[in-house]
Every structure is written in structure tokens, then in C-alpha cells.
Amino acid sequence: MSEQIKKFMYLNRRAPYGTIYAWESLEVVLIGAAFDQDVSLAFLDDGVFQLVKGQDTAEVDMKNFSPTYQALGDYDVTKLFVEKESLEERGLTLDDLMPLTYEDEDDDWAEKDSIKVVSRAELADIMEEQDVMFSF
């Protein structure tokens, strides 16, 4: 579809329901998946709350869009970096997050984890490698 492949990173920095940034970021990711770029997502600051499991928005009358993250693997969006320090600062661990997986076509469709917890320093290195950064 496109003439070149770039490294695209979507930075998610905000909690899921206080503002619409998280949901509208996810919409870009889903549309962008059709462009066959090298996509990764980063979750840092309050953005780590986007991946917390067991979200229930009934009382605030908002659409719970967290199940959409489960679909990312089917869109070949398989690299979700979560910043370790942001988790720790909020009293969260990997066990508090939704288990997100994808099937690796290069490894006999083995089911693999999409989420990778990385340190702030590691995430900075990963950002450095990107061609395009969308910040939400």
C-alpha cells in the first residue's frame, strides 16, 4: 500500500477515560495498521492505566474500549512497550495488566506476549530508533 516502511511509534501517556486521547489514539493505530508500517506502542505515565485489566466503565457511562487492545495482535500490532518506572510509580505490576498476545507467523503461529515491560532508559533507546512518533 505504501512505498516505504517506517518505524511508527504511538506514545500513550494519558489515563483511558479522563480524556479522549487514549481512545482516539487507538483509532489511529487501527487505521494505521492498514499501511503496513513497523508499528510499536509505548505506554508511559498515566498511559499505563489504559492496559489495566478488569476495566468497568458502567458507572461513568463511558464506552469501555479496553477489549479493543485484545484485537491489536490480529492487526499485526504486536510490540507494546510498557515503561517499568511508570508502573511502579502507580503501584502496578505486569500482573495488573490485560494479557495481550499475538500469533507469531514466523514461529509456527506460536502464541506470544505482546506486552514487554522496559525501563525508562530502554524506552528512550527504542524511541531514538523511530522514524515517526505520534504522541497522545
Partner 1 sequence: MKFAIQVNEGPYQHQATDSAYQFTKAALEGGHEVMRVFFYHDGVNNGTKLTTPPQDDRNIVNRWSELAKKYDLDMVVCVAAAQRRGIVDEGEMQRNGKDAENIADNFRISGLGQLVEAGIQSERLVVFGD
Query: How many chain residues bind partner 1 (CB under 8 A)?
Result: 20
Residue closer to partner 1 by CB (options 20, 124) is 20
Rounded Cα gap, residues 9 and 81, in angstroms? 10
The only residue of 15, 16, 31, 105 in contact with partner 1, by rule CB under 8 A = 31
Q: State the nearest-atom distance from the C-beta of 136 to partner 1, in Å.
A: 8
Question: Quick one: residue 105, left, alpha or beta (phi over 0 = left, psi -120 to 50 = alpha)?
Answer: alpha
Q: State the nearest-atom distance from the C-beta of 123 to partner 1, in Å.
A: 18
Q: State the nearest-atom distance from the C-beta of 111 to partner 1, in Å.
A: 28
Q: State the nearest-atom distance from the C-beta of 6 to partner 1, in Å.
A: 6
Residue closer to partner 1 by CB (options 1, 121) is 1
Residues that bind partner 1 (CB under 8 A): 2-4, 6, 8, 20-21, 24, 27-28, 31-32, 34-35, 37, 132-136
